[in-house]
Structure 1
Amino acid sequence: MNEVEVYRDVMVPMRDGVRLAADVYLPTGAGQLPAVLVRTAYDKSAPVTDGTGEYVRIARAGFAVVVQDKRGRFASEGEYRVLRDDATGPHRDGADTVEWVAAQPWCDGNVGMFGYSYLGETVLGAAQAAPPHLRAGAPAQPATDEFVDRAFVGGVLVTNIGFWASLPMVAEDLVAKLPADRQEKARAELDAYRAGLPESTAAMPLTEQPFVRLFPHAWGDVLAHRDDPDFFAESRFARPEAEQVKVPLLHIGSWLDHFPANTVRQYCLTRDHADPAVRDAQRLVMGPWGHGGFTRDEFGSVFPGSAVDYAGMNIEWLDRWLRGDSLTRWDHPVVLYVMGADRWRTERSWPVPGAAARTLALTADGALRQGDPSPGTWSFTYDPADPYRGGRLQDVGAVDLTALHEGDNLLRFETPALDADLEITGVPEAVLHLSTTATDADWHVELHAVGPDGTAMFVNEGAARARYRRSRTAPEPVEPGAVEEYVVGLRPMSVVIPAGGRLRMVLTAGKYPAFERNPQSFTDPGTALESDLQKADHTLHSGPGLSRLVLPVVDPARRGEWIDNPWPLAPGDAEAAPVERQAAELER
Structure 2
Amino acid sequence: MTVRSAFPFEVVETEDMGIVMSDGVRLSARVWMPRDAGMNPVPAVLEYIPYRKRDGTLPRDEMMHPYFAGHGYAAVRVDMRGNGDSEGLMTDEYTIQELADACEVIEWLAAQPWCSGAVGMMGKSWGGFNCLQTAFLQPPALKAVVSVCSTSDRFADDIHYKGGCLLGENFGWGAVMLSYSSRPPDPLLRPDWREMWLARLEAEPWLAPRWAEFQEKSDYWKHGSIGEDWAQNIVPIQVWGGWADNYMNTVAKIVGNVPGAKGIVGPWVHQYPHTAVPGPKVGFLDEALRWWDRWLKGVDNGADADPAYRVWMMESEAPDASAKARAGRWVAGGLDEGVSRQVLRLTPGGFAPPGPPAGYLGKDESLGVIASPQHLGMDAGEFFPMGLNAEMPGDQAADDAFSLCFDGSVLGEPLALMGAARLSLRLSSDKPLGFVVARLCDVAPDGSSVRIAHGMLNLCHRDSMEEPSRLVPGQAYDLAFDLDQMAYRVAKGHHLRLALSNAYWPFVWPSPEAGRLTVEAGSLDLPVHQGGGAWEPPPAQHAKPWAHEVLRPAKTTRKVERDLITGSRAMVVVDDLGDVKNLAHGLCTGETMTERWEIGEGPLSAVATHTWEQRLSRGDWQVRTEAWAEMTATATHLRMRARLVAHEGAVEVFRRDWDDTVERRFV
Q: CA deviation at 1:148?
A: 1.2
* Paired residue secondary structure (1:238): helix
The residue type equivalent to 1:568 in the other structure is P
Paired residue total = 508
Specify every segment of 5 or more residues in structure 1 that has no aligned partner in the other structure, as ranges. Answer: 188-212, 272-279, 521-534, 582-588
Q: 1:10 to 1:296 in 2, by over 3 A?
A: closer
Q: Which amino acid aligns with 2:524?
A: L
> Which of the pair is proportionally richer in strand?
2
Contact 2:66 2:543 in 1 (8 A): no
Is 1:361 aligned to residue 342 of structure 2?
no
Partner SS for 1:161: helix
CA distance in 1, matches of 2:475, 2:125: 41
Question: SS at the partner of 1:562?
Answer: coil
1:166 to 152, 162, 175: 175
Assess if the C-alpha contact under 8 Å between 2:44 and 2:120 holds in 1.
yes
* Partners of 1:507 and 1:144 in 2: CA distance: 27
Once the two structures are superposed, the pairs formed by residues 441-452 of structure 1 within 5 Å of their partners are 441-452=434-445
2-side partners of 1:385 and 1:406: how far apart? Answer: 13
The one-letter code matched in structure 2 to 1:567 is P
Q: Which aligned pairs between 1:316-395 and structure 2 lie closer than 5 A? A: 316-328=290-302, 330-340=305-315, 342-347=328-333, 349-350=334-335, 352-367=336-351, 369-371=353-355, 376-380=365-369, 382=371, 385-392=374-381, 394=383, 395=385
Native 8 Å contact 1:50 1:295 kept in 2: no
- Cα distance between partner residues in 1 of 2:372 and 2:447: 29
1:289-345: CA deviation from partner (whole Å, max 9, x where unpaired): 11115235744xxx5xx3112222212221222223343465322211111171112
Q: What is the CA–CA distance in structure 2 between the aligned matches of 1:560 and 1:52, rounded to whole Å?
A: 37
1:78 alignment partner in structure 2: 88
Within-5 A mapping of 1:183-198:
none
SS for the counterpart of 2:133 is helix
8 Å contact kept, 1:384–1:517: no
Structure 2: how far apart are the matches of 1:378 and 1:295?
46
2:33·2:73 contact (CA, 8 Å) conserved in 1?
yes
* Pair 1:391–1:214, CA change in 2 (3 A): farther
Corresponding residue for residue 205 of structure 2 = 215
Query: In the TM superposition, what is the alpha-carbon distance from 1:474 to its structure 2 partner?
Result: 3.2
Higher helix share: 1
User: Residues 52 and 314 of structure 1: is their aligned pair in 2 closer, same or farther, counting only changes over 3 Å?
Assistant: farther
The equivalent of 1:314 in structure 2 is 288
**Who is 1:561 aligned against?**
533
Structure 1 pair 579/125, CA: closer, same or farther in 2 (3 Å)? farther
Closer, same or farther: CA 50–550 of 1 in aligned 2, 3 Å:
farther
Q: Give SS of 1:146's match.
A: coil
Alignment RMSD (CA, Å): 3.3
- The code of the aligned residue for 1:152 comes to Y
Match of 2:35 in 1: 28
Query: CA, structure 1 residues 225+130, in 2 after alignment: closer, same or farther (shift >3 Å)?
Result: same
Secondary structure class of the residue paired with 2:294: helix
Deviations 1:252-311 (A, max 9, x none): 12222121222322233322xxxxxxxx3x211111211115235744xxx5xx311222
Question: Measured at CA, do residues 400 and 50 of structure 1 come closer, stay the same or move farther in structure 2, by a change above 3 Å?
Answer: farther
1:403 pairs, out of 389, 398, 401, with 398
Q: Which amino acid aligns with 1:93?
A: D
- 1:225 maps onto 2:253 in alignment: no
Show structure 1 runs of 4+ deviating over 6 A: 574-581
> TM-score under structure 2 normalisation?
0.69
The yes-or-no answer on 1:551 pairing with 2:526 is yes
Equivalent residue number for residue 241 of structure 2:
253
SS at match of 1:563: coil
Q: Structure 1 residues 49 and 486 mapped into 2: Cα distance closer, same or farther (>3 Å)?
A: farther
Which structure has more RCO (C-alpha within 8 Å, separation ≥ 6)? 1
Aligned with 1:92: secondary structure?
helix
- Aligned partner of 1:504: which letter? R
> Which stretch has the larger CA shift, 158-167 or 388-397?
388-397
Q: Which amino acid aligns with 1:159?
A: G
What's the TM-score once normalised by structure 1's chain length? Answer: 0.78
The alpha-carbon deviation at position 3 of structure 1 amounts to 4.6
Distance, in Å, in 1 between the alignment partners of 2:238 and 2:374 is 44
User: SS at the partner of 2:182?
Assistant: helix
Task: Provide the secondary structure at the position in 2 that maps to 1:547.
Answer: strand
- The equivalent of 2:161 in structure 1 is 152
Give the C-alpha shift of residue 448 in structure 1: 1.1
Contact kept in structure 1, 2:263 and 2:308, CA below 8 Å: yes
1:64 to 70, 74, 79: 74
CA distance in structure 1 between the partners assigned to 2:62 and 2:340 by the alignment: 36
Of 511-520 and 364-373, more deviation after overlay is shown by 364-373
Secondary structure class of the residue paired with 2:156: helix
Match for residue 289 of structure 1? 268
Deviation at 1:83, TM superposition (A): 3.0
1:39: Cα distance to partner? 0.6
**Distance change >3 Å, CA 386–CA 130, structure 1 → 2:** closer
- Deviation of residue 384 (structure 1)? 6.0
Distance 2:61 2:483 in 1: 30
Aligned equivalents of 1:575 and 1:176: distance in 2?
Answer: 22
**Structure 1 residues 48 and 417 mapped into 2: Cα distance closer, same or farther (>3 Å)?**
farther
Give the match's secondary structure for 2:232: coil
1:458 alignment partner in structure 2:
451
Q: State the distance in 2 between where 1:107 and 1:579 align.
A: 31
